[in-house]
Structure 1
Amino acid sequence: MTSNDIRFDCQHCGDGGPLVIVPRIDGAPLTELIDGFEIAAGMQPAGDAYGGLIPEFFRFGPMPGHFLGRSTNAMGPKTPVLDCECGEWGCWPLMARITATADFVTWDAFEQPHRKARDYVAFGPFQFDRHQYDGVLRALTCVPRNSGVLESLPG
């Protein structure tokens, strides 16, 4: 399996609003990838349902640990990788199993916990080179608070 590229877009909502983190896989925001998948699969509701994670709104713990599947307050064994478009992750999250090994980090077994009948088997898996992934997470720890709009973080 070929490795995917991951980045995290970080920006503040509005003028000095909370920080929003959106994973970007192979150049595309995860919000767009999941919207396209759900719409193509005929899921209802679908499209514009997801937004980035807002760490200030929920105690995910340090973001690097969260994106390695170690968030202590998540729902069960899966990790929220996107929030609802309203900003509340518990409202309409996209959950994934995050598995980290010495060589790779894999996101798979996606689910929408409020629609258990939905089938996400064909979405992903996404496999990232561990070295590249860790580099992106290190950059994520350096995100300054209240600094205005940020560009995509380097990997």
Structure 2
Amino acid sequence: MSSALSFSVVEVDGAKALVPFIDGQSLVDLVAAFETQRGFAPAGGYAGIIPAHFDFGDLRRYYEAREARQWPKPDHAWLLGCDCGEVGCWPLTARIGVAGDAVAWSHFSQEHRPGWNYEGFGPFVFGRQQYASAVSRAVEAVA
């Protein structure tokens, strides 16, 4: 069974941030709850990424981990940044896999806490068409 992806566009100091929602739940809230449950400190502290603050390249390609300069590394993407507005300050990273009719977010990590284990968080699998439509709407909303 696949999940549904959507994005909320929120204003942060005059810039537009993209916050992913999985089955109607904010990824910010989902990961904060997971980190709290695991006793990670500090837990949470995430917000959406702000394309105006960082050159992600083509966001449609970025969200499929196919951008020429993929951040933070090939096959991975920063899905959330810090609540201060800087993606590199406190990023939530995931592996993005595209295969057939599905896109999966898995292997989550917090780069500044390499000892934190996100096993059991995800994977989140989306239908490729629904995923592409959600990403396209998000990209248009921040253009």
Aligned with 1:140: secondary structure? Answer: helix
* Structure 2 letter corresponding to 1:3: S
Task: Say if 1:64 and 1:140, in contact at 8 Å, map to a contact too.
Answer: no
Q: How far off is 1:70 after superposition?
A: 2.5
Q: Which runs of structure 2 are paired with 1:25-40 in the superposition (5 Å)?
A: 25-40=22-37
TM superposition outliers: structure 1 runs of 4+ over 6 Å: none
Greater relative contact order: 1 or 2 (C-alpha under 8 angstroms, separation 6 or more)? Answer: 1
Mapped to 2, the partners of 1:21 and 1:61 lie a distance apart of 15
Mapped to 1, the partners of 2:70 and 2:54 lie a distance apart of 9
Q: How far off is 1:138 after superposition?
A: 2.2
From the two aligned structures, give the one with the greater strand fraction: 2
Q: How far off is 1:6 after superposition?
A: 0.5
Calculate the TM-score normalised by the size of structure 1: 0.86
Alignment correspondent of 1:12: 11
Alignment correspondent of 2:72: 75
- Mark the structure with the bigger radius of gyration: 1
Say which is worse superposed, 105-114 or 134-143, in terms of deviation: 134-143
Mapped to 1, the partners of 2:90 and 2:139 lie a distance apart of 26
* Root-mean-square deviation over aligned CA pairs: 1.3
Q: How far off is 1:73 after superposition?
A: 4.6
Mapped to 1, the partners of 2:43 and 2:139 lie a distance apart of 32
Calculate the TM-score normalised by the size of structure 2: 0.93
Q: How far off is 1:11 after superposition?
A: 2.3
Q: How far off is 1:95 after superposition?
A: 0.1
Q: How far off is 1:142 after superposition?
A: 2.0
Unaligned runs of 5+ in 2: none
Alignment correspondent of 2:124: 126
Mapped to 2, the partners of 1:42 and 1:144 lie a distance apart of 35
Mapped to 1, the partners of 2:35 and 2:65 lie a distance apart of 24
Q: How many residues align?
A: 141
Say which is worse superposed, 5-14 or 17-26, in terms of deviation: 5-14
Q: Write out per-residue CA displacement over residues 37-74 of structure 1, whole angstroms, 9 at most, x where no aligned residue.
A: 00000011113x10100001100012211111124251
**Of 28, 31, 54, the match for 1:58:** 54
**Of 96, 99, 102, the match for 1:101:** 99
Unaligned runs of 5+ in 1: 146-155
Alignment correspondent of 2:84: 86
Mapped to 2, the partners of 1:124 and 1:11 lie a distance apart of 24
From the two aligned structures, give the one with the greater helix fraction: 2
Mapped to 2, the partners of 1:81 and 1:112 lie a distance apart of 11
